[in-house]
Chain A
Amino acid sequence: MSSAISVRSVTKEFVEGPNRVQVLHGVDFDVEQGEVVLLMGPSGSGKTTLLSIMGCILRATSGSVQIAGREVANLSERELPAIRLQNIGFIFQGFNLFPTLTVGENVELALDLKGRRRSKAKEEARWLLEQVGLAAKGDSFPSELSGGQKQRVAIARALSGSPGVILADEPTAALDSQSGRNVMEMMRELAQKHGRGVVVVTHDSRVLEYGDRIVHMEDGRIAEAITEAAA
């Protein structure tokens, strides 16, 4: 297996007034294609910052970040959106669907950003919604869906354009246990069947069984113990 993401000696500092706050201290982290990594740790341990750096949303203060073998740590702010667009799918805790667009249009929008023609985007969006079991909901609005269904739409959107990496921030936090399990099963299937690297930041102990690896973070460092999940 080759690395979908490789992070080496990454540090991140934020400037808050006269103070510099170091959030990450030389983090090394790999995500292989086809595996689900659960990133866990207490609040303030740097999980979301690391996720943002891997997602090319934040730039590391120092260190190396490779996405699909390409070094991205030295790219400019202007170059990062294109990397996100082509290589990374995001799943958010609050779903972040566009409420005035239908479910189908939400997925089509992501494909439109990737330059698909309208007819092709429509067809591809329908296929993606079929993959997450929501083909019949294409014309519904997000407000008409349950939390679990909304997250499945978010998964379909994240899959648009077949990115090699899926980054999920607390994807089950707003879901009941059954919906949470369904979402995690879908993520594991994504990783295994389609060879994508999936990173899930979570506090939810109910999802532990779905990770191939569990990585603990504390005080901006990867904790010593990296547990093989009992999948």
Chain B
Amino acid sequence: MKQLQRSLESRVRDVDVLPTTKFSSMTRIYWMFTTGAGVAVLIAALLGLVVGVVVVAQTIYATTMDHIREYGTLKAMGAPNSYIYRVIMTQAGISAVVGYVLAMFVSFFVVRASQSGGAAILLPLPMAIGIFFLTVLMCIGAAVISINKVTSLDPALVFRG
């Protein structure tokens, strides 16, 4: 292979002769970093992650605040903190699954539509699975604020009108 590469390079001037794998990795580096397109996609993905965490955290927090008296009642009845964590985590888990299913549904059509365009988007199964776990982690992380709020809740609030 090396010999063939050298022989082609000696015969044709101003041309790079590369094996497929090398050409592939060079192309990826070019699109990822030289053009900036890849970095832009990465930043967009990171922003999506941050915005997602904030939106889920706000949603779970708002739901928790809507039901703060019920959490107070649970605590007054003697529910241990672990029981209340479980309730909030379950909400976060449901948010993750619903959000993931909706996002995958949209992604499926976007991926299909991109096949006929110039730059096909790939969504391999391992990546889809990875995104699922990332979504669950993101939602559980977002529930931490609500958990802190409920943990510090004074159950005596049930006696206040």
Contact = CB atoms under 8 A, between A and B. Distances in A.
Interface residues of B, number: 16
A109 B77 CA distance: 10
B97 interface: no
A104 interface: no
Interface of A: 48, 51-52, 55, 57-58, 81-86, 88, 90, 92-94, 96, 98, 110, 113, 169
A110 B79 CA distance: 9
A117 B139 CA distance: 29
A85 B124 CA distance: 50
Contacts of B73: 92, 96, 98
A57 B158 CA distance: 10
Given A96-B69, A98-B70, A81 B158 contact: no
Given A52-B156, A52-B159, A96-B158, A82 B80 contact: yes
SS class, residues of chain B in contact with chain A: helix
B26 to A, nearest CB: 58
A88 B155 CA distance: 14
Contacts of A83: 78
Nearest to B78: A85
A84 B161 contact: no
Contacts of B161: 93-94
Nearest to A101: B70
B133 interface: no
Interface string B27-64: 00000000000000000000000000000000000000
Nearest to A96: B73
A113 B77 CA distance: 9
A27 to B, nearest CB: 17
Contacts of A98: 70, 73
B156 A90 contact: no
Contacts of B69: 96
Given A57-B155, A96-B158, A113 B83 contact: yes
A169 B160 CA distance: 10
Given A96-B69, A96-B73, A113-B83, A51 B159 contact: yes
Interface of B: 69-70, 73-80, 83, 155-156, 158-159, 161
Given A92-B73, A98-B70, A113-B83, A81 B78 contact: yes
Contacts of B159: 48, 51-52, 57, 92, 169
B106 to A, nearest CB: 30
Contacts of A81: 75, 78-80
Nearest to B75: A81
Given A48-B159, A52-B156, A93-B161, A85 B70 contact: no
Contacts of B156: 52, 57-58
B70 A90 contact: no
A90 B80 contact: no
A52 B159 CA distance: 8
17 contacts: A51-B159, A55-B76, A57-B76, A57-B159, A81-B78, A81-B80, A82-B78, A82-B80, A83-B78, A85-B78, A90-B76, A96-B70, A98-B73, A110-B77, A113-B77, A113-B78, A169-B159
Contacts of B80: 81-82
A97 to B, nearest CB: 8
Contacts of A113: 74, 77-79, 83
B87 to A, nearest CB: 11
Nearest to A201: B159
Of all A-B residue pairs in the complex, the 10 with the closest CB atoms, nearest first, are: A85-B78, A84-B78, A96-B73, A81-B78, A48-B159, A57-B155, A57-B156, A52-B156, A113-B79, A169-B159
